[in-house]
Amino acid sequence: MNVNFENRVLELVEGDITEMETDAIVNAANAQLVLGGGVAGAIRRKGGPAIQAECKKIGGTFVGGAVITGGGNLKAKYVIHAVGPRMGEGNEDEKLTNATLNSLKLADDNKLKSISFPAISTGIFGFPIQRCAEIMLEATINYLTGPTGLEKVVFCLFGHSDYQVFAKQLEQETSK
């Protein structure tokens, strides 16, 4: 599913984010920037050890923050490590909005044209997928309708049911 905002496109796909060919892919990271399971594990396995080594040098970031490293052996040239909230820690919605916006800003700061996101926080961190779709899509649409050099933002959803949740929400957002 594709939606255009002037000359920019927001795209939804179902699949494995480590296969995406956008300039950057976003990792659902933790504040310590240790690549464990879920998206991070897939990135570590396919991207090779250079990504974790770069993360170790950076050391960590705050919940809602994002940092950038190279993409190692991935098709994407960069990985943006965004730290989403863990369900139950408080202020989850605001933190997820910030993680999304800080990733988009970091892509712009590095003059990237395209970026792919997973559904941040909805795996190990336990955040509900519907609320994630509402928050991440709203933040992205607001960002894409402002000044940005980004041309394409992709949400790469893992499995058909998560894809359907995002597709329904995007339809609702764009029919407003």
Q: By CB under 6 A, name the binding residues for ligand ADP.
A: 16-18, 28, 38-40, 42, 84, 118-125, 156, 158, 162
Shortest Cβ distance from residue 93 to ligand ADP (Å)?
15
Helix (H, G, I), strand (E, B) or coil at 9: strand
Shortest Cβ distance from residue 52 to ligand ADP (Å)?
15
Shortest Cβ distance from residue 155 to ligand ADP (Å)?
10
Tokens coding 147 = 């000044």
Q: Which is nearer to ligand ADP, 107 or 129 (CB)?
A: 129
Q: Could you give the CA distance from residue 176 to residue 160 in angstroms, rounded to a whole number?
A: 25
Tokens coding 37 = 């399971």
Q: Which is nearer to ligand ADP, 39 or 106 (CB)?
A: 39
Report yes or no: 43 and 82 within 8 Å, Cβ to Cβ.
Answer: no
Q: Which is nearer to ligand ADP, 76 or 119 (CB)?
A: 119
CA distances from 131 to 110, 159, 160 (A): 29, 17, 17
Q: Which is nearer to ligand ADP, 145 or 160 (CB)?
A: 160
Radius of gyration of the chain (CA): 15
